[in-house]
Structure 1
C-alpha cells in the first residue's frame, strides 16, 4: 500500500514500546514528519529522540491524529492527551483503572477528547500506522462523522509552489461560486486536476452548514468530490486572516488554540 502524501502536516502520535523489558509503555508526542520522528525515537536522545524513550526501543508509532490547522493547535492537543486529568476539558474522564492497560487508557482518553470542543469541530483524521494495534473506539464515544478513520503510512510534504492568485497578474479570474470577478484573494480546489477558482469567502460559505462556526466539509462545484475544509486550511496557510464567518474572537481562540490552562 502506497503512503498518503499530506501537505502542511501537523500530527500528534502514540508510540508503543516493543522492548520486552519495557513492553506496554506508551509515549505521546507531536511531529511534522512522522517517519523522521520515529527514527529519532529509536536512535535515542543523542539523535533528537525524547529522553523518556531513549534506550528503551524499539518503539512503534501505532497511531497518529492529523489535520490540525497549525502547530499550536496540535501542541495543545498533545498536552491535553498527555495530561487528561489536568486539562479542564477532560475533567469528566475517569482515571486509569488498575487493571486497565496504558495503551487502552490512551485510546479511551483520545475517544473522549474527540467528543468535546474545540477538538470535535476540527477536521481531524485518525490514522492507524500499525495495523496490529487497530482498536475499536467505544460505541458510546465514537469519533464525529466528519473525522475519517484510516490506516496506512503517511508522508509529510512542504508546500513549495504558490497557491494563491497573484494579485499583480493581468489575468482576471471569475469566481465559480458567485460568478463575480476575483480582484483580491482567491482559492482553488485542493484537487490539482480540478480548475475550480473562487473567492475564499464564497467557497467557505458554500461549505458552511447550519450550526457550524467554520465549515467542516463540502462538495466541489467542479469535480464534485467531497473535501474537508481543513485540507484547504493546510494548503492555504493563514487564509482565515481575512475571513468573516460570524465567528467571535473567543470562539476562534478556543477552536485553534485548544487548552493547556
Structure 2
C-alpha cells in the first residue's frame, strides 16, 4: 500500500446538521469545506448524503462543528466515534452515555436515536478522552439554542474539559460582534458569502501566508543557525527543523527539541504530542499545530506553497483605473 505524504490540511471538521423544518432530525458528517458541504446537503450542489436528500427536511443548517483535525483520517475517526458512541472503543464502557438496547438482524447493536443533548454530551465526552484530549481541536457554535444545550451539558458533566480548549460562538451579525462587515461589491463581481458563521472559517492557507513566506525565506537562504533549544548547529537540509510562528522571530529548532521543550516534564511519560507553549527565542506563545502546518507545507506541499505565495496579476482595466486615480490625486 502506498502512503501519500501530504501537508496538514488548512481545515478539516466534524459537523452537526439540523433540519430547519424538523429540529429532531440531525446528521453528523466531516468535511474540509463546510460551506460547500452544506450546499451539497441542501441540494444546491452535487453530492451530499442520502439521509439529507429528502426535500421535506430541507433546508439544513450547520449548527456546530469541531475543527482542527490534522487529516481526513483523524476527522473520520472522531466522526465515527460521535456517530457510534455505543460502539466506539475510544469511550470506556463505564463512561458511555449512549447505550444500545436493541439489535439489528445481523446481531449487531442497533444505534440509539440521537438528540441534540446526547450529541453534545458525547462531544464533551470525546473531547476529554485520551484519544482526542491533546489534539489541537476547537469547538464552534453557530446557533444560540444549540450553544445553550452545550452549556447545560458542560455544567452537568462529571469531568471538566481541558482549560485551553477554544469554544467559539458566532451566531450572526445581529447577535455577535465577531461578524465582520461586508465590504461593498464592485459591479459585475460575484456576490460575496456572508463573512460570519461557517463562511468565516478559513478553508485555505491564506491565514498563515506570511508565516509560510517567512519559512521559505529562512530555509531557502539557509538561515537555520543554531537550535533555539539545544543550541547545536543545524546543517541546512540535514534534519527536520521547525520554525517559530511569531512575527519577527526566526527561531529554528530540531523537531525533537521543540517537542521536548513544549511538553512539561510531568507530562512526558504519558504524552508524545505537544499542544502549545512559548518560544525560547522570542518568549511568544506558539501552537504546535501551526508549526506543523508550516513544516508539512514546506516539506510536502511545494505546489501549495507556490500557489499561496504567487503574486496575483492585476487586470489591465483595474490597473489603468488605479493609475488614473493616483494621477488625478497628485497635486
Fold shared by both chains (TM-score > 0.5): yes
Structure 1's 80 and 69: CA in aligned 2 closer, same or farther, altered over 3 A? same
Comparing 206-215 with 87-96, which one deviates more in the overlay?
A: 87-96
1:229 CA drift (Å) = 1.8
Q: Quote the Cα distance in structure 2 between the aligned partners of 1:238 and 1:118.
A: 25
User: Which has more strand, going by share of residues?
Assistant: 1
Aligned: 1:94 with 2:93: no
Post-superposition Cα deviations, 1:48-104, rounded to whole Å, max 9, x if no partner, equal 11111123221111111112222111111101100111112333323379xx97111
Give 3-state SS (helix, strand or coil) of 1:61's partner: strand
Aligned: 1:155 with 2:157: no
Any unmatched runs of 5+ in structure 1? 1-5, 240-261
> What is the TM-score with the length of structure 1 in the denominator?
0.75
1:150 CA drift (Å) = 1.5
Match of residue 200 from structure 1: 255
Q: Quote the Cα distance in structure 1 between the aligned partners of 2:31 and 2:9.
A: 13
After superposition, residues 1-261 of structure 1 pair within 5 angstroms as 8-19=10-21, 22-43=22-43, 47-54=46-53, 55=55, 56-90=57-91, 91=93, 92-95=95-98, 102-134=115-147, 135-136=150-151, 137=154, 138-152=156-170, 153=197, 154-158=201-205, 163=215, 170-183=222-235, 184-209=239-264, 210-211=266-267, 212-237=271-296
Structure 1's 171 and 233: CA in aligned 2 closer, same or farther, altered over 3 A? closer
1:9 CA drift (Å) = 1.2
Any unmatched runs of 5+ in structure 2? 1-7, 101-112, 171-196, 299-331
Structure 1's 223 and 125: CA in aligned 2 closer, same or farther, altered over 3 A? farther
Structure 1's 106 and 179: CA in aligned 2 closer, same or farther, altered over 3 A? same
Look at both structures and tell me which one has the larger radius of gyration over its CA atoms. 2
Structure 1's 129 and 234: CA in aligned 2 closer, same or farther, altered over 3 A? farther
Structure 1's 215 and 164: CA in aligned 2 closer, same or farther, altered over 3 A? farther
Q: Quote the Cα distance in structure 2 between the aligned partners of 1:94 and 1:139.
A: 11
Q: Quote the Cα distance in structure 2 between the aligned partners of 1:219 and 1:36.
A: 36
1:167 CA drift (Å) = 6.8
Comparing 180-189 with 74-83, which one deviates more in the overlay?
A: 180-189
User: Which has more helix, going by share of residues?
Assistant: 2
Structure 1's 221 and 57: CA in aligned 2 closer, same or farther, altered over 3 A? farther
In the alignment of these two chains, the number of paired residues is 232
Check whether the contact 1:9–1:157 (CA below 8 A) recurs between aligned residues: yes
> What is the TM-score with the length of structure 2 in the denominator?
0.61
